[in-house]
Structure 1
Amino acid sequence: MKRILVVDDDKDISEMVQVILADDYEVECKSEYEGLVDKLKSFDPHLILLDNSLGERSSGDFISELKEITELKAIPIVLFSAHYDIEKVASKVQADDFLAKPFSLDDLHNVLEKHIGE
């Protein structure tokens, strides 16, 4: 079963995504950047759903940090946010893809299929 790590400080969104994907994926959630690299190394996800706005640290800085870690740099990162221009933000921070909040279940499944298949 493929693994997805959801990183979002909105617990309602994290729990919703976890419930929606539970039948097809192993999903774990994290609400902050602290300890995230260790979590990534132990959970070894196939994809990261990363909220653009998470505490004081920018998603771009975190993505840059991940891309420098050999065993983590190949994990696709999908930035998701209610930011009015999330597509531009995702491109700027070199995320692999984006989802605009609110997103449909079809959009969520499509982006997962695109990056990690079923």
Structure 2
Amino acid sequence: MLATTLKTPMEILTDISVNFKRKRLELRLTQEGLSKRSGVSYGSIKRFESTSKISLESLLNIALALRLLDAFDGLGKFETNVSNQSLDNILKQAPKKKQRGTIK
């Protein structure tokens, strides 16, 4: 069943980066240590934790180093009849973000 509240890709990436940082600290790894363990550059890890921007390959390498790769295992598999609703109908039901007024 699809959730009626959809997150943006950036919101999801932010959640992932926060959770990965939490796991890194739980494992008592520095950013440099994670870089060595994952093969991802220190700069990429630092940027990911501060801006949530990263390539998919680097994300998966970090996930492997943090023992979180299994969470990504089913992402490419999709069910064909998840719901009778179309994506357009689901998006119409999602709460709309408030817009600021404009002066004309």
Q: Same fold (TM over 0.5)?
A: no
Larger radius of gyration: 2
Task: Return the structure number with greater strand share.
Answer: 1
Instruction: Provide the TM-score with structure 2 as the length reference.
Output: 0.27
